Amino acid sequence: MRFAEVKQIAEILKREGAVDFFNCMVGRMDTEITLVEENMPGMSRPLAPYLETVGVFRREIGMPIFHAARVTDVANARHAVREGVLDMVAMTRAHIADPQIVNKIMRGEEDRIRPCIGASHCIYKKIHCIHNPVSGRETLLPMEVSASDTPGKKVIVVGGGPAGMEAARVAAERGHKVILFEAAPRLGGQIQLAAKTTWRKDLIQIVDWREGELEKLGVDVRCNIYAEAADILAENPDHVFVATGGIPAEQNLPGAGLTVSSWDLLSGDMRAEQEVLVCDHTGRHEPVATADLLSAKGHQVTMATIDSHSATEMGYPDRMIFHKRLAEQGVNTLAYLKLSAVHKDGNRLVATLTHELTGQTQEITTDQVVLETGTDPLAEVFFELREGSANKGITDVDAMANWSAQPQTHIESYTLHRLGDAVTSRSIHAALLEAYRLAVHI
Ligand SMILES: Cc1cc2nc3c(=O)[nH]c(=O)nc-3n(C[C@H](O)[C@H](O)[C@H](O)COP(=O)(O)OP(=O)(O)OC[C@H]3O[C@@H](n4cnc5c(N)ncnc54)[C@H](O)[C@@H]3O)c2cc1C
Ligand SMILES: Cc1cc2nc3c(=O)[nH]c(=O)nc-3n(C[C@H](O)[C@H](O)[C@H](O)COP(=O)(O)O)c2cc1C
Ligand code: SF4
């Protein structure tokens, strides 16, 4: 429907006295791509994309206007209301990310609002937010972290990816003394790689917000330290969380040493060649993000995926944007193909791919082969600390499943838990949820 037609309908409704206000939505919602780009725009779109259109409608109709579409920050919301662009801004997902927005504004704590980053996890995993593990679990977990009955415990967190940052944040909110060791110069773990693709850059706000909170809560963050068991024991801890993440999974197919991982290329540790074959064995973000970034930079990229299409493991909001970008950038995606071997042919590589359904093989000659199979846990430090811990490193899964505290142990030692990808290759939300539900009870 065109603007002129919408205006005509609105004028009739106004004349008839049938409405007190208009709730303005812009765009379509009849397909997955229009849902995620127009109706519920996410991080691939700019903030507040429709304020101008809505403002014109309000001026021309002269009635109160409500509006919701990626007005996620207080600055844009305040501007829209103050300048008379609209009368009430909904900020739907912004409240899913942080239901305390209004209280925080009233307390003068705007900088502590957990930002809605437009990750759209809440759209398909109703109504869980990618970085607020409590949203949608309000009856199971406390939205506000309360002070511990036994504050002042020494908590050591190893690894400053999402899992470690969340464990450190929640433990500090509980009133404990927290030290966070991170091997890299910066916090964030794999999110630093995930945020490399242009349209995914807002993922970094998951890190930035937590970094700000850790500072405010007085967490002792020690970067550039690859912590070993001795470093942790030297702190005489009461609780240890090992959130050391993973590393690209070991490959055992013939010629595996000729392949590279998405980490190699996204981190800039290795140079991408002109012609690249990306082999997607997971259906997750890493392979499509690599194909997206490389093709955007002008490399000639082919994707081979073991599924019927790439990005099968993610929800439609991310999948649709990746598919659109890959199509626009001319990436050819081949379905049902699994990399089975690689060999050299002069200075080129020949990839043998096996069809998942028929077992037939085919070869593709290229300059570089990216093989993506997820991560293997990096948990040496956990195994070194396990024997000396009070709980032998065991996380009681029944207690976890019941959303309750871990069983008390009467042994005079530290408790030890593993979090996030240090357990197994998973996601940001899984890492944060695991950290929250364990740390909130100590
Ligand atoms: C390119 C890419 C894109 C991705 N996109 C998404 C996405 O869109 N959505 C999603 O949900 N997931 C995504 N993921 C996966 C997600 O980032 C991970 O599942 C998540 O970061 C795991 O969190 P973690 O804290 O357990 O581990 P990590 O993020 O791996 O962090 C572990 C940290 O521990 C540090 N460390 C390790 N050993 C030590 C030690 N001994 N001492 C001190 N520090 C140590 C590491 O340096 C690292 O910073 C993506 C991953 C990649 C690589
Ligand atoms: C989890 C979730 C559930 C929603 N359910 C409805 C619904 O039942 N009816 C509706 O009209 N809109 C629904 N919406 C859309 C919102 O009302 C809003 O239009 C949309 O999220 C864009 O606004 P925002 O950018 O402020 O989130 C839902 C949105 C989310 C994230
Ligand atoms: S998952 Fe969270 S951050 Fe992402 S759009 Fe939904 S509320 Fe916002």
Q: Ligand 2, atom 13: nearest CA belongs to which residue?
A: 92
- Torsion over CA: 14, 19, 24, 27 (sign): negative
Pairwise CA distance, residues 248 & 250, whole Å: 7
Closest-lying ligand 1 atom to the alpha carbon of residue 290: 1
Residue 439 scores a pLDDT above 90: yes
Task: Please say if the pLDDT value at position 409 is more than 90.
Answer: no
**Ligand 3, from 37, 45, 47, 129: best to mutate by most atoms within 8 Å of Cβ?**
129
pLDDT in tens, 360-369: 999 999 999 9
**Across 104-111, average pLDDT:** 96
Residues 25, 11: Cα–Cα separation, whole Å: 17
pLDDT in tens, 63-85: 999 999 999 999 999 999 999 99
Q: What is the number of the ligand 2 atom nearest to the C-alpha of 118?
A: 25
216-234, pLDDT tens digit by residue?
999 999 999 999 999 999 9
Average pLDDT over residues 357-362: 98
Residue 15: its pLDDT value, please? 95
How confident is the model at residue 243, as a pLDDT?
Answer: 98
Work out the angle between the directed axes of helices 428-439 and 162-173 (0-180°, nearest 10): 30
In the predicted model, is pLDDT for residue 410 greater than 90? Answer: no
CA 231 to chain centre: 30
The helix (run of H) or strand (run of E) holding residue 418 is strand 415-418
401: tokens are 């499943």
Angle CA 162–167–171, to nearest 5 = 150
User: Does residue 328 sit in helix, strand or coil?
Assistant: helix
Distance (Å, whole) CA 204 – CA 192: 7
The set of protein residues with a Cβ atom below 6 angstroms from ligand 2 is 40, 68-71, 90-93, 122-123, 126-127
32 CA from centroid of ligand 2 (Å): 14
The band of 411, judged by pLDDT with boundaries at 50, 70 and 90, is: confident
Determine which residue's CA is closest to atom 20 belonging to ligand 1. 428
As annotated, the residues of the chain forming the CATH 3.50.50.60 domain(s) are 256-373
- Joined together, the tokens standing for residue 150 give 């036994």
Report the sign of the C-alpha dihedral through residues 10, 15, 18, 19, in that order. Answer: positive
**Cβ-based neighbours of 394, under 8 Å, separated by 6 or more:** none
Residue 197 pLDDT class (50, 70, 90 cuts): confident
Q: 1 falls in which pLDDT band (50, 70, 90)?
A: confident
The pair of three-digit structure tokens given for residue 415, joined into one six-digit string: 């408790």
CA dist 392 and 416 (Å) reads: 7
* The pair of three-digit structure tokens given for residue 395, joined into one six-digit string: 């996380």
Residue to mutate (ligand 3; options 121, 143, 191; most atoms within 8 A of CB): 121
In angstroms, the CA 104 to CA 100 distance is: 6
Q: What percent of the chain has pLDDT over 70?
A: 100
User: Between residues 169 and 408, which one has the greater pLDDT?
Assistant: 169
Quote the ligand 3 centre to 55 CA distance (angstroms).
Answer: 25
Q: Which of 316, 297, 253 is nearest to 279 (CA)?
A: 253
Q: Two tokens at 79? A: 């501007």
pLDDT at residue number 347 = 96
Helix/strand/coil for 321? helix
User: Where, residue-wise, is CATH 3.40.50.720 in the chain?
Assistant: 154-247+377-439
**Alpha carbon nearest to ligand 2 atom 15, residue:** 40
The atom number, within ligand 2, closest to the CA of 96 reads: 31
Is domain 256-373 annotated with CATH 3.50.50.60?
A: yes
Pocket of ligand 3 contains residue 129 by CB under 6 Å = yes
- If you count them, how many residues does the chain have? 442
Which residue's CA is the nearest one to ligand 2's atom 16? 92
| Residue 97: pLDDT over 90 | yes
Best probe residue, ligand 2, of 22, 28, 39, 40 (max atoms within 8 Å of C-beta): 40
b/e burial code for range 47-66 (CB count within 10 A of at least 16 → b)? bbbbbebbbebbeebebebe
Half-sphere exposure of 88 (CA within 13 A, CB side): 8
Residue of 47, 125, 130 with the most ligand 3 atoms within 8 Å of its CB, for mutation: 130
Residue 115 CA: nearest ligand 3 atom is 3
**How far is ligand 3, taken at its centre, from the CA of residue 234, in Å?**
39
pLDDT at 173: 98
Express as a percent the part of the chain with pLDDT over 90: 96
So what's the pLDDT on residue 179? 98
Give the bridge partners for 158, in sequence order. Answer: 181, 242
Superfamily of domain 154-247+377-439: NAD(P)-binding Rossmann-like Domain (3.40.50.720)
**How confident is the model over 402-427, as a mean pLDDT?**
94
Q: Say if CB 116 and CB 72 are below 8 A apart.
A: yes
Q: How far apart are CA 113 and CA 95, in angstroms?
A: 10
Over the stretch 306-317, which tens digit does the pLDDT of each residue have? 999 999 999 999
Quick check: CB of 43 below 6 Å from ligand 3?
no
| Ligand 3, atom nearest to 72 Cα | 8
Please write the tens of the pLDDT for every residue from 268-298: 999 999 999 999 999 999 999 999 999 999 9
Distances (CA, A) of 124 to 133, 157, 324: 15, 31, 18
Q: Check residue 312 and give its pLDDT.
A: 96
User: What average pLDDT does the segment 406-424 reach?
Assistant: 94
- Write out pLDDT tens, residues 252-262: 999 999 999 99
